[in-house]
C-alpha cells in the first residue's frame, strides 16, 4: 500500500506541492494531470527521492520512504523506477547496454566501468526488449532509434530493475500520436500483466481517461481531484485547468483519439 500524507515541497517562497495526500491500496494505473507548473513533476520526484520533501510523509508497504538515506535510499530508487519525457538514455551507447544500466544499483563500480554484464542479465534485457517489440534494435546505438523506440528502451531499462512502481513523467510529451499510443499501451500492459503500479504525469485529459484507473488532478500544488475517469467531468476539468483555461492544452480531443477514430479502435487492448 502506498500512502502519501501531506507531502509538501517548497522552493524558496514558492510552494510547488502543498500538503498532497492520497492512498493507493492495490497496484493501479494512476494518471496525474494538471497545467504546467501545477506540481506534477515535483510530486513524482519526491516519491522517487530525487528531491526531498519539505514536509509530510510517503510510506510504501510500511517503509517510510521520506526518511531513507544512503544505501536504503538507493535501494528504494531501484524499486521505484522513473521514466522521463526526454528518455534519458546514453545516446551513443547501444540499446542493450542502456537497458542493462537498469541493474546499476546491483553492480560493482569496476564491473560498471568496464561494461561487464552477466550473461543472464543480457538475456533478460533482450527478453524485455522483445516484450516491448524492439528486440531487433538491441545492437543499435540508442540515438539511431525513433522517439517511440527510445522511450520503449527507457521502459525496458526501468523493467530491468524489476520495480514495484514505475513513475513516468510526461512519457509521451515528445512523441507523435502513433508512438504515444504504443508507449501508453506498453505501460498499461506492464501494469496489467505484471501487476506493477504505474503513476504517470500526463498533459492531456483524454490520455489519462483512456489509460488510467484513477486520475489525480493538481492545481497550484494542491490535489483538487482524485477519482475515476468517469468522475472526471468537464466541470471538474475546469477546476483542474482553471476557468479561463485554454482547453486545447487539456485537449478534449487528443491526437491519440483522432488516431483511434482513424484506425477504428475504441478500447485499450488487454
Ligand atoms: N528546482 C526548482 N527550483 C525552483 N522552483 C521550482 C523547481 N522545481 C519546480 N519549481 C517550481 O515549482 C512549481 C511546480 O513545478 P513542476 O515542475 O512540479 O510542475 P509540473 O506540473 O510538472 O509542470 P509541467 O507540466 O510544466 O512539467 C513551478 O512553479 C516550478 O517553477
Ligand atoms: Mg513536469
Q: Who lines ligand 1 at CB under 6 A?
A: 11, 14, 16, 34, 36-42
Q: Whose CA is nearest to atom 13 of ligand 1?
A: 16
Ligand 1 pocket mutation, candidates 15, 16, 219, 240, criterion most atoms within 8 A of CB: 16
Residue 84 pairs with which residues in a beta bridge?
A: 169
pLDDT of residue 29: 97
Distance 221 CA to ligand 1 centre (A): 9
Tell me: the pLDDT tens digits for 99-147? Answer: 998 776 666 565 565 666 788 889 999 999 999 999 999 999 999 999 9
pTM for this one? 0.89
pLDDT of residue 242: 83
Q: d(Cα 124, Cα 196) in Å, to the nearest integer?
A: 18
pLDDT of residue 113: 59
3-state secondary structure of 242: coil
Distance 182 CA to ligand 2 centre (A): 21
DSSP annotation of 105: G
Question: Rounded mean pLDDT of the chain?
Answer: 89
Buried b (16+ CB within 10 A) or exposed e, 162-195: ebbbbbbbbbbebbebebbbbbbebbbebbeeee
Distance 11 CA to ligand 1 centre (A): 9
pLDDT of residue 245: 63
3-state secondary structure of 10: strand
Q: d(Cα 194, Cα 205) in Å, to the nearest integer?
A: 25
Question: Which of ligand 1's atoms lies nearest the C-alpha of 34?
Answer: 21
pLDDT of residue 204: 86
pLDDT of residue 19: 98
Q: Whose CA is nearest to atom 29 of ligand 1?
A: 37
Distance 262 CA to ligand 2 centre (A): 30
Give the strand order in the sheet containing 63-64.
14-24, 2-11, 55-60, 63-64
Q: d(Cα 63, Cα 44) in Å, to the nearest integer?
A: 17
Which domains does the chain carry? 2-86+164-263 (3.40.50.300)
86 phi-psi bin (left φ>0, alpha ψ -120 to 50, beta other): alpha
Question: Which of ligand 1's atoms lies nearest the C-alpha of 218?
Answer: 21
Residue that the C-alpha cell 497496484 belongs to: 27
pLDDT of residue 176: 94
Question: Which of ligand 1's atoms lies nearest the C-alpha of 35?
Answer: 25
Residue 153 pairs with which residues in a beta bridge?
A: none
Which ligand has the shortest distance to the CA of 18? 1
Q: d(Cα 130, Cα 128) in Å, to the nearest integer?
A: 5
Tell me: the pLDDT tens digits for 30-71? Answer: 999 999 999 999 999 999 999 999 999 999 999 999 999 999
Cβ-based burial of 104 (10 A; exposed 0-12, middle 13-18, buried ≥19): middle
Amino acid at each position: 500500500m502506498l500512502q502519501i500524507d501531506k507531502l509538501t515541497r517548497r522552493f524558496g517562497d514558492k510552494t510547488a506541492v502543498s500538503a498532497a495526500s492520497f492512498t493507493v491500496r492495490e497496484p493501479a494505473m494512476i494518471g496525474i494531470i494538471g497545467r504546467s507548473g501545477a506540481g506534477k513533476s515535483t510530486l513524482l520526484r519526491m516519491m522517487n527521492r530525487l528531491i526531498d520533501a519539505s514536509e509530510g510523509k510517503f510510506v510504501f508497504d510500511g517503509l517510510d520512504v521520506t526518511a531513507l538515506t544512503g544505501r536504503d535510499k538507493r535501494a528504494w530508487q531501484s524499486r521505484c523506477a522513473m521514466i522521463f519525457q526526454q528518455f534519458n538514455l546514453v545516446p551513443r551507447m547501444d540499446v542493450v547496454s542502456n537497458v542493462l544500466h537498469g541493474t546499476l544499483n546491483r553492480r560493482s563500480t569496476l564491473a560498471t566501468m568496464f561494461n561487464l554484464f552477466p550473461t543472464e542479465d543480457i538475456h533478460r534485457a533482450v527478453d524485455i526488449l522483445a516484450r516491448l517489440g524492439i528486440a531487433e534494435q538491441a545492437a543499435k546505438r540508442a540515438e539511431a532509434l525513433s522517439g517511440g523506440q527510445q522511450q520503449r528502451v527507457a521502459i525496458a531499462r526501468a523493467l530491468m530493475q524489476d520495480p514495484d512502481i514505475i513513475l513516468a513523467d510526461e512519457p509521451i510529451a515528445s512523441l507523435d500520436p502513433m508512438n504515444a499510443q504504443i508507449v501508453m499501451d506498453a505501460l498499461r500492459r506492464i501494469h496489467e500483466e505484471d501487476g506493477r503500479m504505474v503513476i504517470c504525469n500526463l498533459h492531456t485529459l483524454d490520455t489519462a481517461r483512456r489509460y488510467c484507473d484513477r486520475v489525480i488532478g493538481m492545481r497550484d500544488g494542491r490535489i483538487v481531484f482524485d477519482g475515476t475517469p468517469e468522475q472526471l467531468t468537464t466541470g471538474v476539468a475546469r477546476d483542474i485547468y482553471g476557468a479561463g483555461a485554454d482547453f486545447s492544452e487539456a485537449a478534449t480531443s487528443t491526437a491519440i483519439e483522432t488516431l483511434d477514430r482513424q484506425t477504428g479502435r475504441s478500447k485499450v487492448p488487454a
